[in-house]
Structure 1
Amino acid sequence: MMGGRTSALAAGLCGALLVGYCIYFDKKRRSDPDFKNRLRERRRKQKAANERSGMAKLPDLKDAEAVQKFFLEEIQLGEELLAQGDYEKGVDHLTNAIAVCGKPQQQTLPPPVFQMLLTKLPSIRQRIVSLSEDDIE
């Protein structure tokens, strides 16, 4: 009976410490005038780093459902960008999709866009291979 009471007391103490910790850091966050600016700056840097990488987060290539979802999202985004006239980014997304799929076929793309896609495909495939090898290690 004593063990249950001790564990309940320990759980209550841990809960109280957690609430105190949250209150302390919330007060510290609210009192800091530059908190929002630093947070915005950090988010902007992360977004810029993601855009610079030019490569969307790759799915697990062994998971067929994740690969299919990634493929469809990249195709949709690529088509939207092509429709807006942003051929460079549109081709990047289409190349990502085709590199994961591995079967490039010209069906609906205009010839210049398809040529851009074919020229970018080897470099994207190389990046996918290197990223896959990094995941294994």
Structure 2
Amino acid sequence: MSSSNTSYNPLRIAAIATGVVATATVSYAIYFDYKRRHDPVFRKKLLRDQRKAAKSTQKEAETGKAVVEAALRRALVLINAQPVPDTPESKEQYFMEQVSQGEALAARSPEFFIASAIAFYKALKVYPAPQELIMIYQKTQPPPVFDLVMELITLEYVTLTGLVAAFRMSGLASSSTSRDPRDGSSDPLLEEIDDASPSQQQAQAQASSQSSSTPSSASGASSASPTSSGSFVVVDDESNQTPAATTTETVEVEVRTTGIVGEDPPEEPLN
């Protein structure tokens, strides 16, 4: 009887089973390490599995973040649509209700962290010193809840900034389309160009071309005038005359007017 009792001892069976499991685990670890070190195909397969696991984890995190952000955006729209209490007494009562609700939800489980953050954000909107209350939240509430509250604040700031930028852009666009760029009373040059008709501009161009094409001989004859000392001042158009022609005309005019200096007049023949 004693031998049969010892052969079926539960402690001995448990010890044997534990030893077998440990031996199998150690054997598999040795085999795994050997394959990882010496089998390139097995090593590549391990790397692929690790990359897939990392990608799936990252994708799940991004999906969860997108879901949380969408929920916070919807909550922010609902919060802004709700009326805010006006009187100090109603604001104080509303603040106490939201703070107590947020604390109760934060103490339950992580599934209620979003609802808790929404309640704390509602209380923040009616508190007279928001920065002080944010510091209190940071010290008293769990970090995930505080991060959600700060994300709500960031989303509202981004929304308001986008609305202000869109309003400014629409105002600039409307002002630029309603104003004529040539309608500037402060620019006299534009006014002068606008006032001049095409016929006037053409007449001015013809007059300038005629004045530039005046014959050089007429200008030389009209520009020479005698002075009291017998000298002459000649004004010629250099653009229309050559230097040789200018000198010849000047000498001819001087000879015809005064004669050659120092020469006696010719004697008349005696009959």
TM-score, reference length from structure 2? 0.23
* Structure with larger RCO (C-alpha < 8 A, sep 6+): 1
